[in-house]
Chain A
Amino acid sequence: AQSVTQLGSHVSVSEGALVLLRCNYSSSVPPYLFWYVQYPNQGLQLLLKYTTGATLVKGINGFEAEFKKSETSFHLTKPSAHMSDAAEYFCAVSDAGYSTLTFGKGTMLLVSP
């Protein structure tokens, strides 16, 4: 069985500061890893994904994440936070099969001016 743990239900940063959202996963097979963002009253939008190959993955809106197998982690970072980044972020894992995602509980990112 797969599982995802997101450390911190809420993360607060100032505008311009580094964003770091943590995600650890458990999987018995090589995982496919995803970060999604959810704005209020909206569905999920894919930020980035890791399948195979390069372990540093770049996504939309300046976000990136690094797959570290030894640490079973896939933390999301952004060098400089913007007010528009305020949203809920979900880390998800999938196996090598087709598409079923297991999500973490989410981290709400709060950005203050």
Chain B
Amino acid sequence: ETGVTQSPTHLIKTRGQQVTLRCSSQSGHNTVSWYQQALGQGPQFIFQYYREEENGRGNFPPRFSGLQFPNYSSELNVNALELDDSALYLCASSQRLPGDLEQYFGPGTRLTVT
């Protein structure tokens, strides 16, 4: 069984640029959630996708957007990058079964905005 994978591992971008981060969910999982973890902080929920539709969003501006594909992999897009967007971005997948709330996290993508 393949776990959650994310690419790239590290990324350096310039303020104002756009970035796309990718996540492959664990086999059999139909839900993907994205989290932002700033240095020294706990992860913060960005949004969740279930069967290709956004299913909940945290307190993030619209320049944070996402997609989920038919194979349940997902992308996180961030436009007009700001210095404060520098963080570890974590993807987590789950099955969305009643009573099964466990999320499986990927290793993350470290984004640095200069």
Contact = CB atoms under 8 A, between A and B. Distances in A.
Contacts of B42: 4, 90, 92, 103-106
Interface stretch (B64-72, B77-85, B98-106): B98-106
A44 B90 CA distance: 9
A51 interface: yes
Contact of A90 (B33, B43, B55, B108): B43
Contact of B44 (A41, A51, A98, A103): A103
A43 B107 contact: yes
B31 A99 contact: yes
Nearest to B4: A43
Contacts of B43: 44, 90, 101, 103
Contacts of A103: 35, 42-44
B41 A100 contact: no
A2 B45 CA distance: 12
A20 to B, nearest CB: 19
A94 interface: yes
B74 interface: no
Interface of A: 4, 32, 36, 41-46, 49, 51, 90, 92, 94, 98-106
